[in-house]
Amino acid sequence: MPSLPRLVTPLVLTSLLLTASSTVAETPEEKGHALAARSDRSDRGFTDSVVELEMILRNARGRESRRQLTVTTLEVADESLGDKSLIVFQSPADIEGTALLSHAKITEPDDQWLFLPALKRVKRISSVNKSGPFVGSEFAFEDFTALELEKYDYKWLREEKCGELTCDVVERYPRYEHSGYTRQLSWIDQTAFQVRKVEFHDRKDSLLKTLTLSDYRDYDGAWRSHRLSMVNHLTGKSTDLVYSDYRFKTGLGDADFVKTVLTRLR
Amino acid sequence: MSVARTSLLAGALLGLLLATPASAVRFEVSGTAGAELRLFTGAPLLPGQDAEPQPSLSFQPELRWSSENRRHRFTVVPFFRWDGRDPERTHADLREAWWRWSGKRGSLLIGWNKVFWGVTESRHLIDVINQDDALEDVDREDKLGQPMIELSTDHRWGNLSLYLLPGHRRLAFPGRSGRLRLPVPIVGRDVHESSAGSEHVDAAVRWSHYLGEVDLGVSWFHGHSREPRLLPAPGGLTPRYDLIHQLGIDLQLTKGAWLWKLETLVREGHGRTFTATVAGFERSFYQAVGRGGDIGLLVELLHDDRDATAPPTAFQRDVFVGTRLAFNDTQDTSILLGVIQDLEGSGRTVFVEGERRFGQHGKLELEGRFFGGLAADDPAAVFAADDFVTLRWSLFW
């Protein structure tokens, strides 16, 4: 989809949604965006969330290493702005207490600060390394940060079976700079409107990674997958993200995501 | 700090903890134990110095309590070092022992703690709250715990932190058998400018804020300098701590893969008022090595116009050039290589720091520091024969 002026986007989207089921001629781009928007909105309305995350990293020989993190997210309702998030490492023990605060933007680089507990130092870091691996995993920073609707342009390709369900296959193209991908293929089911699978094509447009999302649960209308499995086809390595103990609407606000909060986490 | 005041503070902290209902308290223990071997490449120059490799052990447990709603926290982190060669380097310190209340827009902390200010890498110029633990290393990144009352409040216009710092921590020096020491012994009792001596209550204020690509801080400190002047005394040198005023500014501009950094200060109180500045950049080249490894290039210019009326510094006109390799592997392997070159003389310090995690609990670190081309009047010249490599194995739990 050609880049929409940001401010009018919500209006345009509303009209798209209203016409989505009608027979008015809809371009594949419009249909792709509408499907992605419906899926994105079924994840939203959570206000804030706190969740425990275990990352299981496997190398090509199947050897595992694990990391435990607590992820706190503040939803910013305006779709032209990104969410705020705080990631605190619980393990491995040598990086316990290390924390990453992100103020996500849509197409601009995010604002990010890292807290290093040994020195008690807060360091503003560059966030342009979108395609770099997140803590040695098969997830890039751009895969890990919240999926913001307007970060991509979309195109609907086809409809096909995906396991028990029927999915729309929507291609999306990063609109932000420094992405490691030319395009991503996403499978969005037609029942709960959730993303079930994503194929990532690198800058040379070859299939690099496949992400499978499973164990979806509905928290009062906010849907969350509890297991995300990323397989790297180039290296044979994989990373699973296993989420547990989701808590929503815990009463967090902007004040809980300012830079100085990093020094008060423990 | 007097024993009476120390006990009073500790008693108050314990009282606060006990006042919290036991059922609502979370308790966590973690910590680090390390074994290290420091190898010197050359024979010692000074009488009494040990020529053998220097083995040592460290232990730092961390005890953390927090109330159910995490508004109240209580933390105790003692630190112990046993050194096989230098009895003076065998030491203990209370790195942290504090109670903190955190609200929606601020916090109040009472006790011993560490506070870091600044943005640059080669020299932590404006970072003044904590005394160096100079026995640990010469890189000035290890700090002693500082008794403090800290009130930190967040506003729309940034964070304002106020500090009262009762009790001055003295700089410790290695013993006669230790390496990396001064050629002349430290003798006599420390001299403090204030008639209250080390009991003088220092004070500091810091405002910091961020807006878009800019992170800015302005700080002010009044109290006994963390750096002593060393005055001639019968049989050696005696440290004297002057009362100083210090105004500091730290600024970082984050533009894509470039971090532009500035720290600058003006300090009054030693003798002639002086200014000092560290300015430079850190440029990252992402995924430039191997699969996903990053290279960082660091360049900083150091300037310090203090004269002989102030404590000596090795950074009068220097340039720092370094490179950081982060492999972004599951073991978080990284290497930092740097050189600080004196622009007025020929002195230089080359250093290398490497680390890699092993398993879920171990970490291996290698550090090397090499001093070269030092003129006799360079404050770093005392380390001329003390090039060293440290190998450290740490266990985290």
User: In sequence order, what DSSP letters do the residues of B318-347 get, joined into one string?
Assistant: EEEEEEEEE--STT--EEEEEEEEESSSS-
Q: What is the pLDDT of residue B260?
A: 98
pLDDT at B19: 62
3-state SS string over B185-224?
A: CECCCCEECCCCHHHCEEEEEEEEEEECCEEEEEEEEEEE
CA of B257, closest CA in chain A: separation in Å?
6
What is the C-alpha separation between B319 and A206, in angstroms, rounded?
45
How many angstroms away from the CA of A168 is the closest CA of chain B? 33
One-letter amino acid at A34 equals A
Residues on chain A touching B75 (C-beta within 8 angstroms):
266
Rounded percentage of chain A residues whose pLDDT exceeds 90: 66
- pLDDT score at B18: 60
Percent of chain A with pLDDT over 70: 90
- In this complex, which of B154, B294, B361 lies closest to A132 when CB atoms are compared? B294
Q: Which pair of structure tokens corresponds to residue A20?
A: 């989505």
- On chain A, the residues whose CB falls within 8 A of the CB of B361 are 92-94
Quick one: closest CA in A to B120, which residue?
A123
pLDDT of B264 reads 98
pLDDT at A24 over 70: no
Specify the pLDDT at position B11: 65
Q: Which residue has the tokens 């933007």?
A: A105
CB contact under 8 A, A260 and B394: no
Task: Give CA–CA dist B378/B382, Å, rounded.
Answer: 8
Residues in A closer than 8 angstroms to B291, CB to CB, are: 133, 235
- What end-to-end distance do the CA atoms of chain B give, in Å? 32
pLDDT at position A111 over 70: yes
**In chain A, which residue's Cα lies nearest the Cα of B141?**
A119
Q: Which residue has the tokens 């290589």?
A: B337
Burial per residue of A67-99, b for 16 or more beta-carbon CB atoms within 10 angstroms, e otherwise? bebbbbbbbbeebeebbbbbbbbbbbbbbbbbb
Q: Which of A120, A135, A177, A254 to mutate to test the interface with B (most CBs of B within 10 A)?
A: A120
| Residues present in chain A in total | 266
Q: What is the pLDDT of residue B16?
A: 64
Average pLDDT estimate for A27-56: 90
pLDDT of residue B23: 54
pLDDT interval class at A73 (50, 70, 90): very high
Confidence (pTM): 0.91
**Chains A & B: contacts with CB separation below 8 Å:** 103
Contact A259/B357, CB-based, under 8 Å? no
Residues in contact with A249: Cβ distance below 8 Å, sequence separation at least 6, in sequence order: A46, A47, A48
**pLDDT tens digits, one per residue of B2-29:** 545 655 666 666 666 666 555 568 999 9
Residue numbers in A near B73 (CB within 8 A): 266
A253 interfacial to chain B (CB closer than 8 Å): yes
Of residues A202, A178, A175, the one with CA closest to residue A128: A178
- A174 Cβ under 8 Å from any chain B Cβ: no
Q: Do A93 and B397 touch (CB under 8 A)?
A: yes
Rounded to a whole number of angstroms, the distance from the CA of A12 to the nearest CA of chain B is 29
Query: Dihedral (C-alpha) B334, B364, B358, A71: value to the nearest 10 degrees?
Result: -60
Higher pLDDT, B210 or A22: B210
For residue A154, what pLDDT band results from cuts at 50, 70 and 90?
Answer: very high
Least confident of A63-67, A73-77, A227-231: A73-77
pLDDT at A8 over 60: no
| pLDDT at residue A152 greater than cutoff 70 | yes
Mean pLDDT for A141-145 is 82
Copy the structure tokens of residue B341. 């070159």
Residue A82 pLDDT grade (very low, low, confident, very high; cuts 50, 70, 90): confident
Indicate the helix (H) or strand (E) that contains A12: helix A9-20
Label residue A107 by pLDDT band (50, 70, 90).
confident
Note the pLDDT of residue A90. 95
Burial B204-229, CB ≥16 within 10 A → b, else e: bebebbbeebebbbbbebbbbbbbbb
Q: How far apart are CA A173 and CA A170, in angstroms?
A: 10
DSSP state of B386: -
Kind plus residue range of the DSSP H or E element containing A48: strand A48-58
Closest-CA residue of chain A to B156: A255
Whether B124 and B143 have beta carbons less than 8 Å apart is answered as no
- Report the residue of B26, B330, B353, B360 to disrupt the A interface, i.e. the one with the largest count of A CBs within 10 Å: B330
Q: Do B259 and A124 lie within an 8 Å CB cutoff? A: yes
Chain A residue numbers with beta carbons less than 8 Å from the beta carbon of B115 are 120
Per-residue pLDDT, averaged over A153-165, amounts to 94
Q: What's the pLDDT score for residue A20?
A: 47
Helix (H, G, I), strand (E, B) or coil at A10: helix
User: Chain A: nearest CA to B119, how far in angstroms?
Assistant: 7
- State both tokens at B307: 């004269």
Q: Give the pLDDT of residue A9.
A: 39
A230: closest CA of chain B, how far (Å): 15
The single residue listed with the structure tokens 């290695």 is B174
Report how far Cα B104 is from the mean position of its chain's Cα atoms. 30
Is A235 an interface residue toward B (CB < 8 Å)? yes
A63 touches chain B (CB under 8 A): no
Instruction: Please determine, for residue A148, whether its predicted confidence score (pLDDT) is greater than 90.
Output: no
CA angle, corner A264, sides to A258 and B4, nearest 5? 140
Strands B243-255, B258-268: parallel, antiparallel or unpaired by DSSP? antiparallel
Q: Which chain A residue shows the shortest CA-CA distance from B252?
A: A124
Average pLDDT, rounded, for chain A: 87
Nearest CB to A128: which of B114, B159, B256?
B256
> Quick one: angle between helices A9-20 and A28-41, nearest 10?
100
Residue A182 to residues A43, A109, A170, A202, B161, Cα–Cα distance (Å) = 25, 18, 14, 6, 46
What ipTM was assigned to the predicted interfaces of this complex? 0.93
Yes or no, beta carbons of A266 and B115 under 8 Å apart: no
Average pLDDT of the residues in A39-58: 89
The pairing of strands B274-289 and B25-40 is unpaired
**What's the helix, strand, coil split of chain A in %, to 5?**
20, 45, 35
pLDDT value of residue B51: 84
A203 part of contact set with chain B, CB < 8 Å:
no
Residue listed under structure tokens 């109240």: B72
Residue of A nearest to B105 (CA): A255
CA proximity to B277, closest of B305, B303, B245: B303
Q: Stretch A136-155: mean pLDDT, rounded?
A: 85
Nearest to B115 among A120, A128, A133 (CB): A120
Tens digit of each residue's pLDDT (9 = 90 or more) over A215-233 = 999 988 888 999 999 999 9
- How close A124 gets to chain B, by Cα (Å)? 7
Low-confidence ranges of chain B (pLDDT < 50): 1, 3
pLDDT at A143 over 90: no
The answer, for A128 touching chain B at a CB cutoff of 8 Å, is: yes
Residues 6+ apart with CB under 8 A from A14: none
Taking the C-alpha atoms of residue A144 and residue A87, their distance in angstroms, rounded to an integer, is 11
User: CB B284 to CB A92 under 8 A?
Assistant: no
| pLDDT attached to residue B10 | 62
Any CB–CB contact under 8 A between A57 and chain B?
yes
Contact state of A66 with B360 under an 8 Å Cβ cutoff? yes
What is the layout of strands, in order, in the sheet containing B191-192?
B191-192, B236-241, B229-233
Q: What is the pLDDT of residue B20?
A: 58
Q: Is A117 on the interface with B (CB under 8 A)?
A: no
